[in-house]
Structure 1
Amino acid sequence: MPIAIRIFLVYFLFVGLSGWFVLSTVMDEIRPGVRQSTEETLVDTANLLAEVLRDDVQAGKLSQSHWPQLLKTYGVRSPNADIWGVQKTQVNHRIYVTDAKGIVLLDSTGQAVGQDYSRWNDVYRTLRGEYGARSTREDPNDPESSVMYVAAPIKVGQRIIGVVTVAKPNQTLQPYIERSQRRLSWLGYGLIALGLLVGGLLSWWLSSSLRQLTRYAQAVSEGQRAALPRMPGGEMTQLALAVERMRTELEGKAYVERYVHTLTHELKSPLAAIRGAAELLDEELPDASRKRFIANISQESTRLQQLIERLLRLAQVEQMQALEERAKLPLAELIGALVEGQAAAIAQSKVRVELNIAPGLVLLGERFLLRQALANILDNALAFVPEHGLIRIQAEACMQGVWVRFFNQGEAIPDYALARLTERFYSLPRPQTGRKSTGLGLNFVEEVIELHGGQLQIANVEGGVEVRILLPTAG
């Protein structure tokens, strides 16, 4: 299972369970919270009425007073109130008053006058000087039919002469409870969804960063060029830099070891030739032989110098993970300068050079590296073209960039050699001299082209050999 999914699942379980627990707890607390708030209001109302009704209860004139008519009028009022989106169209309080023995003296419904309420908790506890309240179902089989009763004592001094009770059906609170639960549900589930979205994005970001580092490490382990991925910061950046430092150190050690072995192997042949010629020069030799051995020493010294210089250039290119600069390079100007630089060799070989480069083609790359790569291709073409032969250089734009083609007349490349031409130190004998080159030129070309994100192709065509390179353009 991918690490992003595992991280998200853990995050999902944590956020989901925590959110569900908190939301469930708060939802369960809404109903008692609303009822507690209502009970507190009923307490205030009952105590206010106890003070208002005290004189009439003390005088025993409550039933003959204006209170029965007032409570009847109160019961039919229609408030038409809009309370936070809930319409209230009728009053819901029931008010009744008992004497000191619990006998009902006044009832806003007119139904319980004269009845004995002394055993009801609200009256019973209040007459004993305690807080009197109860919740009773109107229908024993319907839990939603409960009514909340809150009583307050009617006192003269410290003597309780009666009880006033204010009742409110819990059913009337249900619209407010449902509204709060509904709003809280939307808000809670929205926050959970937002939390999960943030968790998903965090998991995706972390997984994406790890995938970039993984691809980078795999590319490095396979010997491919790869630019260090750009991390957004923090520990990921430190990890990327640590991987890059490790790659540099490991590659540097392996690279030096490989090049020491390679250089040692390649230097043996020219050094042996120079040593042999030098030993023979110590003896008495004819002038012709002495000149030949001196020429051999000069040729092998030149070969050693070329080998070292090309190895250094190749080492520099191979260590580059990306181009240090990208400049706009007019292709016709670049090719023209290369041909002009080889004018002496072209004239000496009596070779015809044809240039067919579409105007306005501009490459995007590093001037020095591209110039060296194109120069190596032109050197190879001159080395293998016969006297009075033809070298044709063409360039044309395409969807991917620009194709540059170097054609030279000459013998076809053997099939066994085609796939090995870009191998380091692999070379074919030159037709004119029969000698091999350092075998580093096309390897250098391949490295430079890959560094520019292009392609290198070498193929036999009718009448000769064609080297094709694809390079990026400036737009």
Structure 2
Amino acid sequence: MRIGLRLLLIFFLVLGLSLWVVLRVFVQEVKPGTRLAMEDSLVDTAHAMAALAAPDMREGRMASGGFAQAIEAYASSRIKADIWGFVKTEPGLHVIVTDDQGVVVFDSEGKAVGQDHSRWNDIYLTLRGQYGARSSLVDEKDPGSTAMHVAAPILDGKRLVGVLSVSRQNRTLDPYVTRSEERILYWSWIVLGVTLALGVIMTWWLASSMSRLTGYALAVARGERAQLPRMGRLSGRTEFTDLAEAVEHMRLKLEDKDYVERYVHTLTHELKSPLAAVKGAAELLQEDLPEADRQRFVGNIQRQTERLHQLIERLLALADVEHMRALDAVEPVDLAALSREVVQSLEPRWHSRQLDVSLQVDSSLNTVVQGSGFLLRQALHNLLDNAIDFSPEAGRIDISLSGDGPEHIIWRVRDHGQGVPDYAADRVFERFYSLPRAEGQDRSSGLGLSMVREVAELHHAQADVGNHPEGGCIATMRLPRQQPQAPQQRAKPADRQSPVGG
């Protein structure tokens, strides 16, 4: 069987089975889903009405109070609402109120006053502090007359004084459910037909493209100067086009083998020459030489070693990853001096906004840590930059350095702005997530704090941004004074991008 026919049959079987399963599940979920939505709205309605009925219930005038009058007016009202083609003219809610023993004291239809409803599930559960709901027949002779009842407690402070139950017949939803099911089936058949047509076209395109590509590959294998087939004339550039060009590129590379050999020869020569010089100088140094000659040969070894080093660095740069896995070099970094440098570099910004920036460092504190001065400067710069953005005009920013035991040092920057909203507390370090700046400033790129997190991970540090108890936002970096001797490389998630400031 040809691959095109196989693809078409598999496509048809998978599509048909998937559509049947989806339709079956979807249609079966329409009615329950609609009723769940109705129950959810009844919950809100019941609790709202219970709160409105509480004053009348506490004062013992439920049957004649303002709440009863409002419900009676609602029950006798006439509604004119066009809901997506369905016209609603009559109220659909039935409201009853019971006392704390489950005896009905108010009924919007006036039928159940005085009856004991304490055994009905909605009233029974609510009286016991639980969520009360039930679905039962309105007319025992009509199996389709079910109604959804949802109850809510009527409270006097924390004391339960009664229960309000709201109900609505499920059959009021039948027109909406029926129309939804009909529309689902109608559009499903249309989608099935269109998808099958597209499947036939796609199968033909795949089969024809593979056939042309196979003929071209066979011609290349025979050594013929075959012309590259034109792929994707109707669909644009595709993977088949890329594959055809890759085969052509491979053919050209094979034909140009001499060029590859010359390149390898040149590279070998570049490595061989300094190695030979180092070897020769090392052999001569084994002899008894004058001090001047010894120094000259030692200098030659150093120069050739540096030449090798630079050559290797260039080669390694070609295979460099998108972002760092660990610190390339560790050096002593004075956080106090670095902080002063960052504050000075941002002085035009905070000075233009009339901000008071203070840096507090204990003179007896050793503020030197091991790390990358460049990366730490970028991180502190981003944190202070954020503090400036979120500070009110003529506000204050406090920067401090403090020790945290003999192993760590903490760098803090606090502004006196609005702080971090609760909804953003867990997202401030997300890439591209940005909050509105103070006084109508434009949002940032959302990359600054993400870069701070990357720098902290590289330094085995902890970065945190939160609200200060006395107001404003406080950002901290808890840095180890010494980096581990053999730092573990960070995992490289596939969706991470290069850490950049901004």
TM-score (norm 2): 0.42
Question: More helix per residue: 1 or 2?
Answer: 1
TM-score (norm 1): 0.45
Q: Which has the larger radius of gyration?
A: 1
